[in-house]
Amino acid sequence: MADRFRITLGQLNPTVGDLAGNAAQAAAAWAEGRDAGADLVALPEMFIAGYNAQDLVMKPAFQRDVMTHIETLAAACADGPALAIGAPIVEEGKLYNAYLVLKGGKIASRVLKHHLPNETVFDEVRIFDSGPLGGPYSVGNTRIGSPICEDAWHEDVAETLAETGAEFLLVPNGSPYYRGKFDTRMNHMVARVVETELPLIYLNMVGGQDDQIFDGASFGLNQGGKLAFQMPAFDAVTQHVDLERGPEGWRIIEGEKAVHQDAYAQDYRVMVQGLRDYMRKTGFKKVLLGMSGGIDSAIVATIAVDALGAENVRCVMLPSEYTSKASLEDAEACANALGARYDYVPIKQGRDAITETLAPLFEGTKPDLTEENIQSRLRGLLLMALSNKFGEMLLTTGNKSEVAVGYATIYGDMAGGYNPIKDLYKMRVFETCRWRNANHAEWMMGPKGAVIPDNIITKAPSAELRDDQKDSDSLPDYPELDAMLEILVDRDGSIDDCVAAGFDRDVAKKVEHLVYISEYKRFQSAPGPRLTKGAFWLDRRYPIVNRWRDPS
């Protein structure tokens, strides 16, 4: 029996629905493995289709096209190492999330996912059928067990594989990022290693798909849960991993152990990568955004420049009579520091025309929120006109605090195709700005240094839709608001939980009410990268019509 086994791991970035492109990536990884003398080239879960493909995989024409590409790929990779790749397959009228082993020009083995996740962003119970508990597959005379993603979070699949002769575990994943996710994964995988006494290789994909960003960070564990190697987070790479057979079975030969960055760096990378991939995979090249002189548009502009390069970012100041001199100066200073284009488009003339048009209908009424929102909606109209004219995707800039309580104007500042800070609370926006001013990495396309002026970070937040307006006129101060929202939204807590944390009951009830009545706005809002398990979209799904309030 062979004493060494080489696996080429493809920690790569597929695109949902790009079957030809994903197959080409798989073929390129296979060629690297062949040239390096690999026995097996492995790719992540559902790689050929892209992940998370949602209802697309239920379409019969898509299923047939997947199999056409799998058969073509198998034929192209007939002579050389086996190729393991995730794909949706149909057998006897049932649709499975499968892991296929291609060898000799055909599908030599297949694994069917048993445990189907049905929480947070996953609806696999609705889409796939559950496969049976099965045994390992063979590559040469080596028996490999491949629990597919969620299957490795449960002990029964790995134990069954160990009991039926698996010599090590190779776990293909489509595991999206949320803050702290790596530690959760590691804890589960260490448990599988301890239970089975088998080495384990955890292979994850990278890249953005709508709101989900896959962070890679693949790794290997030897017996006892000892870390053997760790691949970098977020980078698309292939890596050759060797296993050696000894008296006590297989052992992963130790390799490089990439160091993970802190949570602020990881979150920022997710926002940059999410925007970059959303643009690339949808075909957009350039973006624009309304640049107000406030902190939210400043961080979004910075993310955009880091993701796409300054030459692909347009910042547009749309002042009214309420726009302060400081905001004008700060917006221009930030755009200039980033090297982005800066346009100045006053809204007074358009606003006067709208006011005159509505005057007969508004006669006898007093100015109120309506007139404030006209400013925001006029800005949205002008920005969308620029977007249409120049083919630049409009970014919206509402932070999670505002998105949660509806402190944003639908069809106004909510207009746009993508929101990079949708899952970033206001206080974390402040800290992220400070972090970016102090840090730079090679994956950032923007300049080094303090690109966000200090005045933007330190001044009181304001929508500047009326004289002397402050966000605190309408909302609790952001430290208190964010803390309550974290309880009510991220932890799905109660009013009593807010009170126990030291907050006034009536204020907590007001915040809860704002969250519920803003559901219709979020339903129509742009997608944005998921940073937490309490993100607005697939993580948290509430009815728009909802009369219930916490009675406590």
**Residue showing tokens 């006029």:** 378
Q: Which helix (DSSP H) or strand (DSSP E) does residue 372 occupy? A: helix 369-390
In a domain, 526, yes or no: no
Within-domain flag for 200:
yes
295 shares its domain with 351: yes
Q: Are residues 75 and 196 in the same domain?
A: yes
Q: Which of 508, 296, 295, 265 is nearest to 419 (CA)?
A: 296
Q: Which residues are catalytic?
A: 45, 113, 149
Tokens representing 479 are 């430290």
101, 89 in Cβ contact below 8 A?
A: no
**Are residue 127 and residue 165 in the same domain, yes or no?**
yes
Q: What's the confidence (pLDDT) of residue 539?
A: 84
Residue 513 domain-assigned?
no
DSSP E strand stretches across 92-236: 94-103, 106-112, 137-139, 142-145, 168-173, 200-204, 206-209, 212-215, 219-222, 226-230
Q: What is the pTM of this model?
A: 0.94
Question: Strands 137-139 and 106-112: what pairing?
Answer: unpaired
What is the predicted pLDDT for the residue at 538? Answer: 86
Q: Are residues 232 and 309 in the same domain?
A: no
Q: Determine the structural domain holding residue 281 and report its residue range.
A: 269-466
CA-CA distance, 111 to 100, in Å (whole number)?
6
> Do 157 and 278 reside in the same domain of the chain?
no
> What is residue 543's predicted lDDT score, i.e. its pLDDT?
87
Domain finish residue from 431, 466, 501: 466
In a domain, 481, yes or no: no
Q: How far apart are CA 540 and CA 547, in angstroms?
A: 17
**Same domain flag for 356 and 285:** yes
Q: Identify whether residues 282 and 248 lie together within a single domain.
A: no
pLDDT at 318: 95
Which of 125, 45, 132, 127 has the alpha carbon at shortest distance from 84? 45
Q: What are phi and psi of 459, to 5 degrees?
A: -75, 160
Tokens of 28: 């390129």
How much is the pLDDT for 532? 94
131 token code pair: 């496969």
Q: In this structure, which amino acid lies at residue 132?
A: P
Supply 498's token pair.
């807010």
Total structural domains in the chain? 2
- Last residue in a domain, options 260, 283, 312: 260
H helix and E strand count, the chain: 17, 19
Instruction: Answer yes or no: do 286 and 213 share one domain.
Output: no
pLDDT at 323: 85
Residue 118 lies in a domain: yes
Same domain (yes/no): 172, 297: no
What is the Cα–Cα distance from 155 to 194, expressed in whole angstroms?
11
- pLDDT value, residue 382: 97
Secondary structure string (H, E, C) spanning 257-278: ECCCCCHHHHHHHHHHHHHHHH
DSSP codes of every residue in 183-199: HHHHHHHHHHHHHH---
Of 218, 164, 192, the C-alpha closest to 44 is: 218
Give SS3 for 487. helix
Domain final residue, candidates 213, 229, 260? 260
Say whether both 249 and 273 belong to one domain. no
With respect to residue 508, please indicate whether it lies within any of the assigned structural domains.
no
In a domain, 10, yes or no: yes
* Whether residues 288 and 363 fall in one domain: yes
CATH code assigned at 403: 3.40.50.620
Kindly state whether residue 325 falls inside one of the protein's structural domains: yes
Which residues, given as ranges, of the chain have pLDDT below 50? none
Alpha carbons within 13 angstroms on the beta-carbon side of residue 246 total 10
Residue 94 pLDDT: 97
| pLDDT at site 475 | 86
CATH number, domain containing residue 146: 3.60.110.10
For residue 315, what pLDDT is reported? 98
**pLDDT tens string 509-538:** 999 999 999 999 999 999 999 999 999 988
Task: Check whether residue 245 and residue 275 sit in a common domain.
Answer: no
On the 0-12 / 13-18 / 19+ scale of CB atoms within 10 A, 453 is buried
pLDDT value for 6: 97
